Amino acid sequence: MKSTRAVLSTLRLIFLVLLVTIPLRAQLERNSLAQTPPMGWNSWNKFACNISEDLIKSVADAIATNGMKDAGYQYVVIDDCWQVDRDENGFIVADPKTFPSGIKSLADYVHSKGLKFGLYSDAGSKTCAGRPGSQGHEYQDALQYARWGVDYLKYDWCNTETRNAEEAYSTMSKALLATGRPIVFSMCEWGTAKPWQWAKGIGNLWRTTGDISDKWSSHEKWPNGACCQLGMLEILDLQVGLDAFAGPGHWNDPDMLEVGNGGMTIPEYRAHFSFWALLAAPLLAGNDVRSMTPDIREILTNSEVIAVNQDKLGREGHRVEKSGDLEVWSKPLSDGSRAVILFNRGAADSKVSVTWEQIGYPNHIPAKVRDVWAHKDVGTFDGSYSASVPSHSVVMVRIAP
């Protein structure tokens, strides 16, 4: 009798321990994802709703063979418009015309290339393109994604009416954790409810602004008044002050890359990519990676710029100096050095200088400077470094005492 009771109480204890540790383990899993900013490709910026399984397969083929996979690009993410309906049990259904083999088989294909697979949904009743959203179906959708082999979910904010953002994103976050499959959770709430203040532990990354447009500078309101399309500069300016909120597993997301989509010049795209690297932003290419010019490929796969982005210290860079059109930005790196951007927004080439004190070193010490775009050591300098910076572009260096 006594021993039966002892067995029962041991079993109860084991049960309680499991009850506490299983969700904890899942939480640790979430925390172990995206320790450096996620890198990959997303269909939206170039293809919008013109997507299909053939497109996604050919993009995966390209990434696996054109140097992008070797450079660190990993997630192939399908954005809006892959879904059309729900079945009689409420499960989400992929468009049979554009994805006739189904999502599982596409995910298997992407995995077979040594890459990871991502999907898109929305916290409202409908996605931004009017496809079925996940509201009220969060656990069911998460379960389906896990069955299909999804590794990354981008979760949008259209048609959410009066929904509370923290509640909505927490619900999907918990639903993803409950599947037991590690799925990076990318929150796309446009910064409306300041997710950097509350989303650490809910999402692995959160959008900080409206949508990027393939323009150096621009600001257009969406027709529904909710938010906006912004140029690269407008997005960059909205990142000022947010660096303290980012770190391993939880990143500010200034939106996907436009590099290679044709709306900016090569020097401007070099500036765009440099800043996204320095901001520890997710690097999600948004162009047609199957047909890139050598210039564009060289930007997207520059190993020294990517190393700044992927640095394991995980600190986001910030602006240390602004004087009219000329600026200096700095990002601390794990070896004690700094990545520094000398930035020229102006219409003419200009000299831009950084002093060691601006980046946290005493001015009297010598420091080595390396140009990460030119892949060249520039020399050793005392107290400051100056360079001529082309109009609408950057000089990006690493400075190490």
Instruction: Show which residues are catalytic.
Output: 156, 211
Nearer CB in complex with ligand GLA: 127/204: 127
Q: Which of 33, 84, 93, 129 binds ligand GLA (CB under 6 A)?
A: 129
**374, 365, 375, 279: which is closest to 319 by C-alpha?**
279
Shortest reach from residue 367's CB to ligand GLA, in Å: 40
In the complex, least distance from residue 50 CB atom to ligand GLA, rounded to whole angstroms: 12
CA angle 203, 208, 211 (to 5 degrees): 115
Tell which positions 151-170 bind ligand GLA, by CB under 6 A. Answer: 156
Residue 228 or 266 having the CB closest to ligand GLA: 228
Smallest gap from Cβ 242 to ligand GLA, in A, equals 17
**CA distance linking residue 357 with residue 299, whole number of Å:** 30
Q: By CB under 6 A, what part of segment 186-225 binds ligand GLA?
A: 188, 211
Q: Cβ closer to ligand GLA: 95 or 304?
A: 95
Among 64, 68, 94, 128, binds ligand GLA (CB under 6 A): 128
Please report whether residue 258 would count as binding ligand GLA according to CB under 6 A. no
Cα Rg of the chain, angstroms: 23
Which residue number, 140 or 192, has a Cβ lying nearer to ligand GLA? 192
| Region from 32-40, 123-131, 143-151, 274-282 binding ligand GLA, contact rule CB under 6 A | 123-131
For ligand GLA, give the closer residue by CB, 231 or 317. 231
> How far apart, in whole angstroms, are the C-alpha atoms of residue 80 and residue 94?
11
Long-range contacts of 316-322 (CB under 8 A, 24+ apart): 316/239, 316/242, 316/243, 316/246, 316/251, 316/252, 316/278, 316/279, 316/280, 317/243, 317/278, 317/279, 317/280, 317/341, 318/240, 318/243, 319/240, 320/354, 320/358, 320/359, 321/354, 321/358
Q: What mask, x for binding ligand GLA by CB under 6 A, covers residues 51 to 90?
A: ----------------------------xx----------
CB closer to ligand GLA out of 128 and 246:
128
Angle at 40 between CA 61 and CA 253, to 5 degrees: 160
| φ/ψ of residue 296, rounded to 5 | -70, -45
Query: Which single residue brings its beta carbon nearest to ligand GLA?
Result: 128
Q: Which stretch binds ligand GLA (CB under 6 A): 22-30, 122-130, 241-249, 389-397?
A: 122-130
Of 3-11, 126-134, 377-385, 393-401: span binding ligand GLA (CB under 6 A): 126-134
Nearer to ligand GLA, 229 or 353 (CB): 229
Whole-number minimum distance, CB 258 to ligand GLA, in Å? 12
Decide: 347 and 389 in contact? Cβ < 8 Å: no
What are the strands of the beta sheet with 39-42, ordered from one edge? 251-253, 205-207, 184-187, 152-156, 116-122, 75-77, 39-42, 283-285
Q: What's the closest the beta carbon of residue 44 comes to ligand GLA, in angstroms?
A: 5
Provide the CB-side half-sphere exposure for 98 (13 A, CA). Answer: 15
Q: What is the residue type of 315?
A: R
Please say whether the dihedral angle defined by the alpha carbons of residues 146, 149, 152 and 158, taken in this order, is positive or negative: negative
Residues that bind ligand GLA (CB under 6 A): 44, 79-80, 127-129, 156, 188, 211
